[in-house]
Amino acid sequence: MWFPNRLQEPFSDSNSLFPIPSPPKPIDHLPNTVLLKTSLKHNMSSADDQYEVRNDAATGGAPAGDATDNSYTSRTGQSQIPVQKDQAPVEDPIDPATADSDETLARDDAEAIDQSNILDGGRTRGAKPTGTYREPGDEEGLPANDGTSST
């Protein structure tokens, strides 16, 4: 390459065509960590963040619009399956006062467990009774040491 002042080698140490920029010098009265956090926080402010700050304050955190939509409810003679309105009360079989009581939890367990699926005797799938399994010995399954080579 030709330069008006002089000819340079592309990757020389001091006069490189692609010099590596030196890191910014820290401000004397602030530690590097504060500068790093501040600069990252400043750089992280995106258009999304600015939009959220502007619009969340105006709506109080909830999106604007009508949360109730009854346009899908059934009309007389329109459908065989009735669809309730959003405002219709829903029957809740759970009593909040006793929902976490021991009696309610025990009743739920009893209803959930099918007693006909429980095997009698504590044995499952043909397993041997407890205490009948035997661990193999140290030499079991190994050829006898008769002094001859296997090869």
Show pLDDT as tens, one digit a residue, over the chain (151 residues). 445 554 444 444 555 566 666 666 655 555 554 444 444 444 556 787 777 777 765 555 566 777 777 777 767 776 677 777 888 888 888 887 888 888 888 988 999 998 888 777 666 677 777 788 788 788 777 777 777 776 6
- Predicted pLDDT at 121: 67
Please indicate, yes or no, if residue 47 is contained in any of the structural domains.
yes
Please indicate, yes or no, if residue 30 is contained in any of the structural domains.
yes
- Predicted pLDDT at 132: 84
- Predicted pLDDT at 133: 79
- Predicted pLDDT at 40: 47
Please indicate, yes or no, if residue 7 is contained in any of the structural domains.
no
Q: State which residues form the domain around 45.
A: 25-56
- Predicted pLDDT at 7: 47
Please indicate, yes or no, if residue 44 is contained in any of the structural domains.
yes
Please indicate, yes or no, if residue 49 is contained in any of the structural domains.
yes
- Predicted pLDDT at 148: 77
For the chain, give the DSSP string: ---SS----TT-SSS-SSPPPPPPPPPTTS-HHHHHHHHHHHHT--HHHHHHHHHHHHHTTSPPS-----TTS--TTT-SS----TTS-------TTTTTSHHHHHHHHHHHS-GGGSPGGG--TTPPPTT---PPPSSTTSPP--S----
Domain count, the chain: 1
